[in-house]
Chain A
């Protein structure tokens, strides 16, 4: 094997760590790199923090993170969404420790500094000792630049970055397609599974665009499906593809017939959804609406990987939080139809539980192999991580290089962006 990485000269130069077809295993293990990533990636780009349905009303909030930094996502009285550091401007305590809820203000438990929903400092107990020069307007909760696209809320510490829509670019079309799984209703979140895996965050970033592993790692999931559904999920021999969408984003189309959920409504209803269709008809839904809901209920046929921390993954949001160089928290957020039929939303919940989360038929097997990567790369530091699958057969797609569904085109897209950002 002549493809070793020259570790004698590996400083931590991004140019040497990431090549077009392979990356250094140090990428998963270097604490120095991990710290640099926090500064150069998670503090510099748009990071997904929440979906709008998680903060539906005035005063609704949820806690999230931008990189490792704790933030509050909140909707104010004027319906504007703010993302603010969860840190009192006085001595640094968190001003909220409730995961989600509704409030009219945030108050620091230490000395009682009170903040409005827009983060403005409203009240200080015994303010006289601060003197007249103290300007409350200069002591609001630290506010991050916040923009949304089709319900997805992103925040950034970087005031100079391009507008969110420009950053998303070619990925916007796929976000729009993904949201069609509302089946004619707005998409809403319906709870989440959270689990921690002893792995570097980039292992997760890769996995969402890795179809190659699916029939191997998820064989036990496939075996639990009926024959028709098993056939649907056996997509490596199909017409799917992976395409680089620019800025580190990529899309992996696994089931092409489920790309546009509003097309082909006349298609035969899959066996596993027939019971739902019958139930909806019995409830009085007209046939075209039944078909639209049932077509959407299983989710989209693709994974959209948005650099650096979120994926619109078939039927749910997959969110990563980098906790330490060898520790990553994963959230699988279930999605449903806001105002849609209960029977459809219940089925979506059961489908989510079937694959996702700590007791799903899929996630635990993913977590096992991710952990084994972290354990494996403790050996052979000079050996590279290969991301070369399909590189010679890649063609030009609509937005960028396109390869076979099982190719590592999406990983190359993400590592290209990683390299670009780490060199800036």
Chain B
């Protein structure tokens, strides 16, 4: 891949991930679900692991768990997510780590501020995405969100990173 191709891919990936971030802040969860491949995994680990399936994570969501989680957010029976905290997030420091055929691995930094009960909390994370290039853009194959203090004392989350 030459520089121009790299820059073009980086720009398209960035557009896609900013769009995903906007969906999550707006809690447009049905649209967010549609970004995923059925085999995709959405993982928020506690610690690094070779295989996150073998360790305890904050979440390890396959297609069913993602849908169940969104349903829980949307149905209105979960007191912590009705109403949820509102969030504003920024994504930056995008790096394309690998391109392999139709698969792109990209990492970035994420800062998220949540507000509820008149109280704001700030979370920082390194995020790594595995995207599949499609005719119409990208789909999510894997998203791993490494919160800086993932192994520390957290608070409960009523939204997605």
Tell me the A residues contacting B by CB distance below 8 Å.
Answer: 99, 190-197, 217, 219-221, 223-224, 329, 334, 342, 345-346, 349-350, 352-354, 357-359, 361, 363-365, 367-369, 371, 375
Contact = CB atoms under 8 A, between A and B. Distances in A.
A315 B154 CA distance: 21
Interface in B42-72: 44, 46-47, 53-60, 65, 68-69, 71-72
Contacts of B59: 353, 359
B154 A196 contact: yes
B151 A224 contact: no
A367 to B, nearest CB: 4
Interface stretch (B17-25, B77-85, B126-134): B77-85
A194 B46 CA distance: 10
A395 B50 CA distance: 53
A117 to B, nearest CB: 24
Contacts of B68: 224, 361
B152 interface: yes
Contact of B72 (A220, A352, A375): A220
Given A220-B78, A371-B117, A195 B56 contact: no
Q: Among the interface residues B57, B68, B79, which one has the most CB atoms of the partner chain A within 10 A?
A: B79
A81 to B, nearest CB: 23
Given A191-B46, A220-B75, A353-B56, A368 B153 contact: no
Interface of B: 44, 46-47, 53-60, 65, 68-69, 71-72, 75, 77-81, 117, 151-158
B158 A194 contact: no
Contacts, number: 95
B152 A194 contact: yes
A20 B131 CA distance: 60
Contacts of A345: 54
Contact of B153 (A194, A349, A369): A194
Given A99-B151, A364-B78, A365-B80, A193 B72 contact: no
9 contacts: A193-B46, A195-B155, A197-B156, A223-B72, A353-B60, A359-B58, A364-B81, A365-B79, A371-B117
Contacts of B81: 220, 364
Contacts of B78: 219-220, 361, 364-365
Nearest to B44: A359
Nearest to A361: B72
B65 to A, nearest CB: 8
List 6 A-B pairs, minimum CB-CB distance, nearest first.
A191-B56, A364-B156, A220-B78, A368-B80, A364-B80, A367-B156
Q: Among the interface residues A99, A193, A345, A363, which one has the most CB atoms of the partner chain B within 10 A?
A: A193
Contacts of B75: 220, 223
B23 to A, nearest CB: 18
A345 B55 CA distance: 9
B54 A346 contact: yes
A364 B78 CA distance: 9
Contacts of A368: 79-80, 156
Contacts of A358: 58, 154-157
A354 B57 CA distance: 10
